[in-house]
Amino acid sequence: MDKLVIEGGIPLQGEITISGAKNAALPILCASLLAETPLKLSAVAKLKDVGTTITLLEHMGVQASRSEDRVVLDASHIHTQEAPYEMVKTMRASILVLGPLLARFGHARVSLPGGCAIGSRPVDLHIKGLQAMGAEIHIEHGYIEARASKLKGARYFMDMVTVTGTENLMMAACLADGTTVLENAAKEPEVVDLADCLIKMGARIEGAGTDIITIHGVERLHGCDHQVVCDRIEAGTYMVAAAMTGGCVKLNNARADLLDAVIEKLRDAGVTVESDATSITVKSNGKLKAVNIRTAPHPAFPTDMQAQMMALNTIADGVAKVTETIFENRFMHVQEMQRLGAQIEVEGNTAIVRGVPKLEGATVMATDLRASASLVLAALVASGETIIERIYHLDRGYENLEEKLTALGAKVKRTS
């Protein structure tokens, strides 16, 4: 299994380009199932999760071709509406095929994703929403078996804000009979990007980016050209890297308007952040103040940046409270950061982080995607060498991580 070896202590300098967002690409790839003609996508990052989704779509009969960051998906001949356990278990977002398959073909059989490292993460709201639209759904042998000769528009209130749940129901509603109103919908930029793509495919959607999304069903959808929105979490991660190392980094293809909560916290920590429409520049002298963080749905502070901001707090001046409200088990980076000398105590869903003057290199283990990113950040400032094991998590969400860090002057190498 691959490891990353990082020698800390180098202020990052230079510029890099941020990739297309993983969390936008995954639902948009699944949206290809709704279209009768090819969907042509660009800015699709070369990531493990993207590859897994394409393999799953190919298993169903989608013709996929890929070159560089472009992917063309032709779902005109689907021969199975089943997403098998072997494929779903490796990636929870596979549940995103459920809505499109059911809406277009009247049937879907999708393995239940099951638990995952960062909490139990049920899919009950996806199921209840589809039932509200008239689907008959049974759970059999670990599979969601869904049928509906034609979904019907409905008003559905989600009692928790769910990103993929909103996306699944929005996609399903595009081909339903009549109007669907999704209340308490997720407002994440990736939901908006999916809606933008669906609208180009012929869907009639209003209100994406607000908590009420209205979808007027249409008879059919067609392919279109769509460029996936930039990855705000990848950008946020490099922003924290620049801040922690006391560097100066310009991120191209990055949008500050998608990162308000993160930028505000970085400024509170004493970091300079400047931006224009397509880039963000971060400057830091490495002297950071502790900042409290509380995760919540967009536009509040994203849970996918919690571990990275905790890394920043480990070397900041003062004591920070980091509260996680989205997932119940998302502090697995704490133990590993402690191995690097961080002082962190966990009380329920809050971590109390007491900044220390210096972290020290050690061997640590990556446990999930964003936890792994936070360990890379810690390693970039730790004295000596840090070895990060099990970095396959990073390959799920960060395109060309070593290349990008190396371009900024970091000493990073991958070994087996």
User: In the complex, which residues of this chain contact ligand UD1 (CB under 6 A)?
Assistant: 23, 26, 92-93, 119, 121-126, 160, 162-165, 190, 303-304, 326-327
Shortest Å distance, C-beta 341 to ligand UD1: 28
Shortest Å distance, C-beta 126 to ligand UD1: 5
Backbone CA torsion sign across 95, 101, 103, 108: negative
Q: How many CB atoms lie within 10 A of CB 358?
A: 12
Rg (CA), the chain: 21
Q: Please count the CA atoms within 13 angstroms of the CA of 276 that sit on its side-chain side.
A: 4
Rounded Cα–Cα distance for residues 342 and 315 (Å): 8
Q: How far is CA 254 from CA 46, 70, 278, 280, 319, in A?
A: 18, 19, 5, 6, 30
Rounded Cα–Cα distance for residues 151 and 404 (Å): 45
Shorter beta-carbon distance to ligand UD1: residue 192 or 249: 192
- Let me know: does 91 contact 53? Beta carbons within 8 Å: yes
Tokens of residue 181, six digits: 């109103």
**Residue 276: exposed, middle, or buried by beta-carbon count in 10 A (0-12, 13-18, 19+)?**
exposed
The pair phi, psi for residue 80, each rounded to 5°, is -145, 145
Element (H, E) at 147: strand 143-147
Shortest Å distance, C-beta 144 to ligand UD1: 11
Tokens of residue 34, six digits: 């709704």
Catalytic residues: 116
Shorter beta-carbon distance to ligand UD1: residue 41 or 249: 41
Shorter beta-carbon distance to ligand UD1: residue 92 or 104: 92
